[in-house]
Amino acid sequence: MNTKPFTSGLGENAVMITRVADRQWHALDDDLVVGRGYAVHRPDGRLFVSIDAWHDAAFDRLAEAMLTQLPAPLYTVVDEADVELMAGWRRAGFTIRRREWEYVVPTDPQVTGLDDVLPPPGVTIVPAGQADEEMLRAVDRAIRDEVEATVGWQSMAAEVIPRPEGDTIVDPSKYAVAAAPDRYLGLIRVVTVIRPRIGLIAVRADEQRRGIGRVLLAHALGTLHRSGFAETWTEVQEFNHAASALFEGIGARPMSSNLELVR
């Protein structure tokens, strides 16, 4: 444990920054926790930080301690509407790297216009929980390699699900796939915790522009609708115009935006 005293003006006693774990810090004012800082490696290997503090001074001191003790580059994600938090990260030297739009997506096929969408010839949809795990991992790996070789996987929407080193499929039961007789062509992941969220929809590069992504989306939304969910959510990177067009074309509405910052 690493403890560093400093004067912040938050109280009569010196405020202490304490590293309570390998990637966790506390700001203490007279033994009261007035701020917490965290660092975590995302699946793509980047190190993301977050701070929750009562006061600007506690935020700034936590940021100072974390930036001193962590290797660069560092990243964080901020709700664009949170002006105070954004200002705190700017004071710490962070700048905007990219923007993600959060969409609310209707599930009713009468609203989305996806009620009569059919797979291309030779393609079938395998529902979530029924995909062959080896083939699922193969299509996931192939798509990731294709993305990494072009725009880079870091251009995809930020993924926050912790997973073992090198394992990109945490729960195969969350994936539906588009299948040809000899391989899988695309996949969609839907996770429901408090509300359903489309975490990933992707198609092999040589199978794009055949309507497979639209069919996967129709299947996932139809399944959610039959389960009683009127809406789901997803995030789209600002410059992913194809994904934005796909979702906006079925009536999805941008509701908020997140900024990814880097230092």
pLDDT at 193: 81
Q: What are phi and psi of 219, to 5 degrees?
A: -65, -50
Written as one string, the DSSP assignment of 145-170 is HHHHHTT-GGGSPP------TT---S
pLDDT at 145: 87
pLDDT at 226: 96
Task: Look up the pTM and report it.
Answer: 0.75
pLDDT at 146: 87
CB 135 within 8 A of CB 172: no
- Integer angstrom CA distances of residue 98 from 73, 84, 162: 15, 19, 22
Coil, strand or helix at 194:
coil
pLDDT at 185: 97
- The C-alpha atoms of residue 162 and residue 154 are separated, in whole angstroms, by 16
- The C-alpha atoms of residue 257 and residue 251 are separated, in whole angstroms, by 18
Q: Which residue reads 């789209």 in tokens?
A: 236
Long-range contacts of 161-165 (CB under 8 A, 24+ apart): 161/43, 161/191, 161/199, 162/40, 162/43, 163/43
- From first to last of its 263 residues, the chain has per-residue pLDDT tens of 454 544 444 444 567 899 988 899 999 988 899 999 999 988 678 899 999 998 898 999 999 999 999 999 999 999 999 999 999 999 999 999 999 999 999 999 999 999 999 999 999 999 999 999 999 999 999 998 887 776 555 555 544 444 555 557 778 999 999 999 999 999 999 998 888 999 899 999 999 999 999 999 999 999 999 999 999 999 998 888 888 999 999 999 999 999 999 99
Burial tier of 243 (Cβ tally within 10 Å: 0-12, 13-18, 19+)? buried
DSSP 127: P
pLDDT at 42: 80
Q: Which residue reads 């062509």 in tokens?
A: 185
- Please, what is the end-to-end C-alpha distance for the chain in angstroms? 25
Domain boundaries for CATH 3.40.630.30 within the chain: 101-257
Domain 101-257 falls under CATH 1.50.10.10? no
Structural tokens at position 223: 């399944």
* Amino acid, single-letter form, for residue 16: M
- The C-alpha atoms of residue 1 and residue 188 are separated, in whole angstroms, by 43
Q: Which of 168, 152, 154, 105 is nearest to 260 (CA)?
A: 154
